[in-house]
Amino acid sequence: MVELTQVKEMIRTIPDFPKKGILFRDITPLLLDKRKFKFCIDQFAKKTKGKIDYVVSIESRGFIFGSALAYKLGVGFIPIRKEGKLPFHKHSAAYDLEYGQAVIEIHADAIREKSRVIIIDDVLATGGTVEAAIGLVEKSKGIVAGVYFLVELLALGGRKRLKGYPVYSLVSY
Ligand code: AMP
């Protein structure tokens, strides 16, 4: 049996990446471990109750967990991508980064009205990215049934921006 403490041990902390002062939580060692990677996906699947139509995730590390979870749940997968990458009609949402703004996009015809979706990403930091992703799902008239993360950075308080949504993170710092 894998324990969550063993999952945490496989997340590597890199100081000052990508810039000074950031403690980067690197999930790539975890991905190398087939039992622990599978355990994480299984935990997300166990947490998922009721009918789900799609898993939505955010470029690019979110895709690693999102597509595996969609496969496990037997549902479709919807990518949210950075500006300019999706080829068809799309909805866009801008959000604030530490310096400046970023834009993410979803295909406007991806989500059927009232579909229930899970949004998943690797790390919850300030919550700005996932808040924008929720906005895109809701603009597409989807229902956000859960918001999942592998890692939650508690000091940055991202969860406060996600009030009213079921938020689940596997490990926290
Ligand atoms: P935020 O919008 O602040 O919640 O940032 C979330 C996004 O930035 C996620 O997609 C993460 O992949 C990435 N991210 C932010 N902070 C970190 C960190 N300390 N370590 C790894 N990834 C991070």
Q: Which two tokens stand for residue 130?
A: 């996932």
Q: Whose CA is nearest to atom 13 of ligand 1?
A: 123
Secondary structure of 5-25 as H, E, C letters? HHHHHCCEEEECCCCCCCEEE
User: In this predicted model, what pLDDT tens digit does every residue of 97-154 receive, in sequence order?
Assistant: 877 899 999 999 999 999 999 999 999 999 999 999 999 999 999 999 999 999 999 9
Q: Is the CB of 122 under 6 A from ligand 1?
A: yes
Catalytic residue among 61, 81, 116, 161: 61
Paired sense of beta strands 143-152 and 116-124, if any: parallel
| Residue 159 bears catalytic tag | no
Other beta carbons within 10 Å of 166: 14
Bridge-partner residues for 9, per DSSP? Answer: none
Best substitution site from 63, 101, 103, 123 to test ligand 1's pocket, by max atoms within 8 Å of Cβ? 123
pLDDT for the residue numbered 109: 98
Q: Which residues, including other chains, have CB under 8 Å from residue 47's CB and lie 6 or more apart?
A: 146, 148, 168
- Asked if 61 is an active-site residue, the reply is yes
pLDDT category, 1, cuts 50, 70, 90? confident
Phi and psi at residue 114, in whole multiples of 5°? 65, 15
The residues near 6 (Cβ < 8 Å, ≥ 6 apart) are 36
Ligand 1 center to 59 CA (angstroms):
11
Q: Give the nearest ligand 1 atom to 132 CA.
A: 2
Write down the pLDDT at residue 41. 98
Cβ of 53 less than 6 Å from ligand 1:
no
**Where does residue 39 fall: left (phi above 0), alpha (psi -120 to 50 degrees), or beta otherwise?**
alpha
DSSP label at 125? Answer: S
In sequence order, what are the beta bridge partners of 90? Answer: 107
Go through the domains of the chain in sequence order and give each one's CATH number: 48-172 (3.40.50.2020)
What's the predicted TM-score (pTM) here? 0.97
